[in-house]
Amino acid sequence: MADSHEAKSNDETTHFGYKTVKADDKQKMVADVFHSVAGKYDLMNDVMSFGVHRLWKRYTIEMSGVRTGNRVLDIAGGTGDLSYAFAKRVGPEGQVVLADINASMLQVGRDRLADRGIAGNLEVVQANAEALPFADNEFDVVTIAFGLRNVTHKDIALADMYRVLKPGGRLLVLEFSKPTHNLLNKAYDFYSFKALPIMGRLITQDADSYQYLAESIRKHPDQETLKNLMTDAGFDRVTYHNLTGGIVALHRGVKA
């Protein structure tokens, strides 16, 4: 993976929402967003999705095929929704690693999971998705929910997720995507750019972070493009399932 990182120029630019920024600066800018909203993150998710994000995550868990004794890596796991469900499924014989690059989000997640009685089979690790601090072939399942769009070099991150999976292991990417119907797309645009920043200001006193959220969703690869990125990273049998009319999509791939 080192060669891939070295190949990236210091002058490389990327997108932070609709802004063009230096690639080296994006990680800190995204970190600032999540430091700002960490304390109200779960409440805001419930409000802005009308609670539907819980159904999207439940579907991801069912599609993961996680069983007793499995090792699961939950990247960008934030406040721990998926990690909690996975920890219950793998049991004391298994292990779940809750990983996030953002210390504020990890602290909220660690506290929430401890309050809910999850401890023995859970590890919390601060980690960059582009340089995962784990051995090759270590996990049965890797998930990343609503985090890939914030990663600067998605190709590098997907390749590293492939590396840490065991042969036959599965990657599941749950992410905002491209609505499949034009009218829904127009309504979603109106909601995202008009309502979300207002909700952010009222609930988290931070409209700018939710303006970034709306913009980052639009810059994220659509369903077919992400499928191709996963295939290029080495994944086999890559499929995706549109949820809520394609507002969200769940991609799934297998390590051969």
Segments making up each domain of the chain, as ranges: 2-180+213-255
Chain mean position to CA 11: 26
- Mean pLDDT across the stretch 38-50? 66
Type of residue found at 239: T
Q: Which residues contact 117 (CB under 8 A, 6 or more apart)?
A: none
Assigned CATH class of 2-180+213-255: alpha beta
Instruction: Characterise 65 by phi-psi region: left (phi > 0), alpha (psi -120 to 50), beta (else).
Output: left
Tokens encoding 4? 């891939």
Question: Is 206 labeled as ligand-binding?
Answer: no
Question: Is 155 labeled as ligand-binding?
Answer: no
**Using an 8 Å Cβ cutoff, are 216 and 210 in contact?**
no
pLDDT tens sequence across 96-151: 999 999 888 888 888 889 888 887 899 999 999 999 999 999 999 999 999 999 89
Model confidence at 252: pLDDT above 90: yes
pTM listed for this prediction: 0.83
Question: Is 129 labeled as ligand-binding?
Answer: yes
Question: Is 100 labeled as ligand-binding?
Answer: yes
Return the pLDDT at 36. 58
